[in-house]
Amino acid sequence: MIKISVRNLVEFILREGDIDNRISGGIEKDAMLQGSRIHRKIQRRMGSNYRAEVSLKIQTACEGFVLQVEGRADGIIEEEAGTTIDEIKGVLKELAHIEAPSNVHLAQAKCYAYIYAKQENLERISVQMTYCHMETEELKQFKQEFLFTDLEEWFQELVRRYEKWAKFQIEWKAKRNASIRDVEFPFEYREGQRNLVTSVYRTILRKKKLFIQAPTGVGKTMATVFPAVKAVGEGLGERIFYLTAKTITRTVAEQAFQTLKKQDLSFKVITLTAKEKICFCEEAVCNPDNCPYAKGHYDRVNDAVFDMIVNSDEMSREELERQAEKHKVCPFEMALDVSLWADAIICDYNYVFDPNAHLKRFFSEGNKGEYLFLIDEAHNLVERGREMYSAVLYKEEVLEMKKLVKSEDPGLAKRLEECNKQLLMLKRECENYQVLDSVSHIAVKLMNIMSALEEYLEIVQNEEKREQTLDFYFQVRDFLNIHDIMDENYVIYTELERDGRFKLKLLCVNPAVNLQTYLEQGNSTVFFSATLLPIHYYKKLLSVEKDDYAIYAESTFPKENRLLLLGTDVSTKYTMRSASMYDKFAQYILKVVEAKRGNYLIFFPSYRFMADVYECFQNEIQGRTDIECILQSQFMDESAREVFLETFEEERTTSLAGFCVMGGIFSEGIDLTEDRLIGAVIIGTGLPQVCNDREILRQYFDSRDMRGFDYAYLYPGMNKVLQSAGRVIRTEEDQGVIVLLDERFMGRQYREIFPREWEGYQTCRLENLNAHMEKFWEKIKN
């Protein structure tokens, strides 16, 4: 049996026309998503003969299978005159502008009407489209009566058009599952790796969550991908989402699936690429006037997708682009449609978790998929989660918007001024930052503004003004969406920034509940990283469950291949910073680099600190030709990053010292194995700078007896240290030194977070550093 929702069926089969981001269709969709409260309000006032949220389903026999179409009708009205199916849509545009219901909306209602009429043996049935203005709650209704025979003919044609897709799905799954049975783990198990594989499989079997702390090199990717693929073959999941924050880890995941495919595995794998990167045009302007691929896209895209999934298992970016070019459709939108037929989707976190960017085709409200989530580099998800579920509104932007529309739309300008006045009152009460209990009064004003903005977008002619308005509209929408989901995991505060700008922020302190909204739509989740320490911190901020599993995978690397030194006579504390301290750090770096010719990365707490020490280091090596230096700049584009990394690949007769910033692009996700990197010097404990956001986090956790300093500063800081240190030993053959320079590393609270494989660290001072280095490299040589 194949199941599909009424909404997905009609939106998929009946879509047509252009991609056009200039029209308010996207905004209307947002209104519908916000409309559940309006639905309930309307349903309550409809009277006793109105039944709300009625579940309906029907099974239709197709060639070789049964198709079940299911959904919930907003309302069914039983009257003497007959039965009516009511479909409610919340909108922001003036109802006078809606002259007829949209085809897709009407088709949804017709599906429900057909199912109910068949169930109740009705000869005729009416369909009522109820459009409700989100702000005024004014209603506009369109009613139409249908004969059952006409509805049946229409519905059967709809099913017939979908039948080939369902048939393909059944045949493909049978082929895929048969191929999975013969797949075996492609390598000889490393020590502890079999245990990892077993743990992942058991977690999926029990529909639980698992946290894996596993050092680099133990083969985490294959140890999670392989059991997940096997689980899909045994019906424990229908699709794998491999989620990551970095492009390079996506490549590793792709390679893991390709390795399994060498065993004749039939498994469709797609990697989702950002719109800006895959767009055929110079600029991603999505409308039919600017882009030939947007014009008529929906008329052609289903044929393009079907052609691709039937004739090839290959879903690479190159293949997607070739297919999109062939059918003249948008490659980004086509990739999203193709993903519906993929067995594994490799993508950034935001495609699953971001309320504004997630894949609605998989994660719409009430959707339950048999998904398996593999979350790589999971330590990044805490901060990314906070960003995704927080929202900001600047007073200055409200004022700017008011000036922009004042001459054309005085009504909108008046609403913006009312909101500006409320923000001004909050500004007068705020010296630095101020925590608030509620901003519901501002949310009400913003709802009024949204409605007026929708009207303004209908009439504005100037393209630049339109774009500015649209940006502001989405900002307000995001703020209201976050305001809707706020709970005890949030802090509301205002802040007067250093540049004089005044902001109102809804800060998500603990993203676990919001993440759960999406994770519970799947079967099982595996979080894994080389740095999930301390595990209780990540469990608390990434999961709401109390019984999640956790395992610590032991390192398989020989301990004698690494020297870990703690320099105890230096500090990066603000009170200790001085020219002589910077000079001491420069001398430390020089001694490390001099001890053995090779490539080194030097990590700093900030660009400013790096610049000060770099200047001292240049003085130290003045006139020398045996040491080269490269420096990470603050705004590197992709090509500049590649040049930086390629420098480590070159053969040279000198030593190379790469100066970069902890927590930046070179401190995680890069793979410099063997002699391409033989040492890392890590300067400072990585603690985030003291700022209002961090202080609010600290106070929040302190108020709940949860060691606020550790949650706000220590754990995020030490994660950067661990990630930076993890660049050195990547394979069993790697050898190298890790030097941690800050007296604070000797503190108990820091050492508690050291991974097990750091046991056996040694302490040093500048005067005896040479002795430690010489002894280690001499031992390695022999």
* Range of the structural domain that residue 219 is part of: 182-267+343-389+511-554
In a domain, 173, yes or no: no
Q: Tell me what percent of the residues of the chain surpass a pLDDT of 70.
A: 96
Quote the pLDDT of residue 35. 52
Residues 16 and 48 in one domain: yes
Residues 746 and 612 in one domain: yes
In a domain, 347, yes or no: yes
Average pLDDT over residues 676-690: 95
Banded model confidence at residue 33, pLDDT cuts 50, 70, 90: very low
Per-residue pLDDT of 482-531, as tens digits, reads: 999 999 999 999 999 999 999 999 999 999 999 999 999 999 999 999 99
Residue 196 near residue 218 (C-beta atoms within 8 A): yes
Residues 199 and 67 in one domain: no
Average pLDDT over residues 650-665: 93
Instruction: Say which CATH number the domain at 249 has.
Output: 3.40.50.300
In a domain, 327, yes or no: yes
* Lowest mean pLDDT segment, chosen from 185-189, 271-275, 374-378, 556-560: 556-560
Residue 663 tokens, joined: 């927590």
Residue 116 tokens, joined: 């109910």
Instruction: Say which CATH number the domain at 64 has.
Output: 3.90.320.10
Banded model confidence at residue 28, pLDDT cuts 50, 70, 90: very low
Per-residue pLDDT of 588-602, as tens digits, reads: 999 999 999 999 999
Question: The pTM is what?
Answer: 0.91
Quote the pLDDT of residue 684. 97
Banded model confidence at residue 23, pLDDT cuts 50, 70, 90: low
Residues 280 and 161 in one domain: no
Instruction: Count how many domains the chain has.
Output: 5
- Three-class secondary structure assignment of 251-316: HHHHHHHHHHHCCCCCCCEEECCCHHHHCCCCCCCCCCCCCCCCCCHHHHHHHHHHHHHHHCCCCC
Residues 82 and 225 in one domain: no
Quote the pLDDT of residue 665. 86
Per-residue pLDDT of 107-157, as tens digits, reads: 999 999 999 999 999 999 999 998 888 777 888 889 999 999 999 999 999
Assess whether pLDDT exceeds 70 at residue 606: yes
Average pLDDT over residues 37-42: 67
Alpha-carbon distance of 594 to 597, in angstroms, equals 7
Write phi, then psi, for 287 (nearest 5 degrees).
-150, 160
Per-residue pLDDT of 415-474, as tens digits, reads: 999 999 999 999 999 999 999 999 999 999 999 999 899 889 888 888 889 889 999 999
Residues 234 and 97 in one domain: no
Quote the pLDDT of residue 357. 81
Residues 16 and 124 in one domain: yes
Average pLDDT over residues 24-42: 53
Assess whether pLDDT exceeds 50 at residue 25: no
Alpha-carbon distance of 33 to 27, in angstroms, equals 10
DSSP classification of residue 430: -
Residue 556 tokens, joined: 């398989």
In a domain, 174, yes or no: no
Residues 523 and 539 in one domain: yes
Banded model confidence at residue 32, pLDDT cuts 50, 70, 90: very low
In a domain, 27, yes or no: yes
Assess whether pLDDT exceeds 80 at residue 38: no
Assess whether pLDDT exceeds 90 at residue 774: yes
Average pLDDT over residues 371-396: 97
| Domain's final residue, options 117, 134, 166 | 166
Quote the pLDDT of residue 717. 97
Assess whether pLDDT exceeds 90 at residue 253: yes
Residue-averaged pLDDT of the chain: 92
In a domain, 176, yes or no: no
Amino acid at 610: M
Residue 234 near residue 181 (C-beta atoms within 8 A): no
Residues 486 and 589 in one domain: no
Q: What is the number of residues in the chain?
A: 782
Write phi, then psi, for 185 (nearest 5 degrees).
-60, 125
In a domain, 35, yes or no: yes
Please classify residue 41 by burial: count the beta carbons closer than 10 Å to its beta carbon, then call 0-12 exposed, 13-18 middle and 19+ buried: middle
Residues 382 and 397 in one domain: no
| Domain's final residue, options 303, 324, 341 | 341
Residue 59 near residue 492 (C-beta atoms within 8 A): no
Element (H, E) at 529: strand 524-529
Quote the pLDDT of residue 138. 85
Residues 154 and 95 in one domain: yes
Residues 85 and 230 in one domain: no
Residue 610 near residue 663 (C-beta atoms within 8 A): no
Quote the pLDDT of residue 677. 94
What torsion do the CA atoms of 544, 549, 553, 554 make, to the nearest 10 degrees?
110
Average pLDDT over residues 332-352: 95
Q: Pick from 44, 56, 50: which is nearest to 75 by CA?
A: 50
Crossing angle (nearest 10°) for helices 395-405 and 410-428: 160
Per-residue pLDDT of 528-549, as tens digits, reads: 999 999 999 999 999 999 999 9
